[in-house]
Protein backbone atom coordinates (compact mmCIF):
# COMPACT_ATOMS: atom_id res chain seq x y z
CA UNK A 1 0.00 0.00 0.00
CA UNK A 2 2.69 2.49 1.00
CA UNK A 3 6.12 2.60 -0.53
CA UNK A 4 9.37 2.19 1.31
CA UNK A 5 10.23 5.84 0.77
CA UNK A 6 7.10 7.04 2.56
CA UNK A 7 7.82 4.79 5.53
CA UNK A 8 11.39 6.07 5.77
CA UNK A 9 10.24 9.70 5.53
CA UNK A 10 7.62 9.09 8.23
CA UNK A 11 10.19 7.39 10.48
CA UNK A 12 12.49 10.40 10.23
CA UNK A 13 10.11 13.37 10.12
CA UNK A 14 7.81 12.46 13.01
CA UNK A 15 10.60 11.87 15.57
CA UNK A 16 12.27 15.05 14.34
CA UNK A 17 9.07 17.00 15.01
CA UNK A 18 8.98 15.46 18.49
CA UNK A 19 12.55 16.54 19.18
CA UNK A 20 11.73 20.08 18.06
CA UNK A 21 8.67 20.17 20.31
CA UNK A 22 10.62 18.91 23.32
CA UNK A 23 13.45 21.38 22.70
CA UNK A 24 10.97 24.25 22.45
CA UNK A 25 9.32 23.11 25.66
CA UNK A 26 12.67 23.10 27.49
CA UNK A 27 13.56 26.48 25.96
CA UNK A 28 10.33 28.08 27.16
CA UNK A 29 10.67 26.58 30.62
CA UNK A 30 14.33 27.50 31.13
CA UNK A 31 14.78 30.79 29.23
CA UNK A 32 11.47 32.59 28.99
CA UNK A 33 9.98 31.46 32.29
CA UNK A 34 12.87 30.33 34.50
CA UNK A 35 11.38 27.82 36.89
CA UNK A 36 12.26 24.39 38.17
CA UNK A 37 12.41 21.60 35.61
CA UNK A 38 10.74 18.62 37.22
CA UNK A 39 10.77 14.91 36.61
CA UNK A 40 8.03 15.24 34.01
CA UNK A 41 10.35 17.14 31.68
CA UNK A 42 13.10 14.57 32.02
CA UNK A 43 10.63 11.76 31.34
CA UNK A 44 9.50 13.60 28.21
CA UNK A 45 13.12 13.91 27.09
CA UNK A 46 13.73 10.21 27.75
CA UNK A 47 10.63 9.20 25.83
CA UNK A 48 11.75 11.41 22.95
CA UNK A 49 15.01 9.46 22.85
CA UNK A 50 13.02 6.21 22.74
CA UNK A 51 10.87 7.50 19.87
CA UNK A 52 13.98 8.47 17.91
CA UNK A 53 15.38 4.98 18.51
CA UNK A 54 12.18 3.41 17.21
CA UNK A 55 12.35 5.59 14.11
CA UNK A 56 15.95 4.55 13.53
CA UNK A 57 14.98 0.89 13.90
CA UNK A 58 12.22 1.34 11.35
CA UNK A 59 14.62 2.92 8.86
CA UNK A 60 17.17 0.12 9.35
CA UNK A 61 14.44 -2.49 8.95
CA UNK A 62 13.15 -0.95 5.75
CA UNK A 63 16.58 -0.63 4.20
CA UNK A 64 17.41 -4.25 5.06
CA UNK A 65 14.20 -5.34 3.33
CA UNK A 66 15.34 -3.48 0.23
CA UNK A 67 18.71 -5.25 0.35
CA UNK A 68 17.12 -8.69 0.85
CA UNK A 69 14.93 -8.31 -2.24
CA UNK A 70 18.07 -8.54 -4.35
CA UNK A 71 19.23 -11.77 -2.73
CA UNK A 72 18.25 -15.25 -3.86
CA UNK A 73 15.19 -16.78 -2.19
CA UNK A 74 15.97 -19.21 0.61
CA UNK A 75 14.24 -22.13 -1.16
CA UNK A 76 16.61 -21.75 -4.10
CA UNK A 77 19.61 -21.73 -1.79
CA UNK A 78 18.42 -24.87 0.02
CA UNK A 79 17.78 -26.81 -3.21
CA UNK A 80 21.16 -25.86 -4.66
CA UNK A 81 22.85 -26.93 -1.41
CA UNK A 82 21.07 -30.29 -1.52
CA UNK A 83 22.14 -30.79 -5.14
CA UNK A 84 25.76 -30.26 -4.15
CA UNK A 85 25.57 -33.02 -1.56
DSSP symbols for the chain: ---HHHHHHHHHHHHHHHHHHHHHHHHIIIIIS-----HHHHHHHHHHHHHHHHHHHHHHHHHHHHHHHTSPPHHHHHHHHHHH-
Query: Which pTM does this prediction carry?
Result: 0.68
Position 82 scores a pLDDT of: 58
pLDDT digits (tens, 9 = 90+) for 1-53: 677 888 888 999 999 999 999 999 999 888 887 788 889 989 999 999 999 99
Position 78 scores a pLDDT of: 59
pLDDT digits (tens, 9 = 90+) for 44-80: 999 999 999 999 998 888 887 666 665 555 655 556 5
Amino acid sequence: MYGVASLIVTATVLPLLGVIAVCLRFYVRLRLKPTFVGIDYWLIAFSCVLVCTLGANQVVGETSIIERKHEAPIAHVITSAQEQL
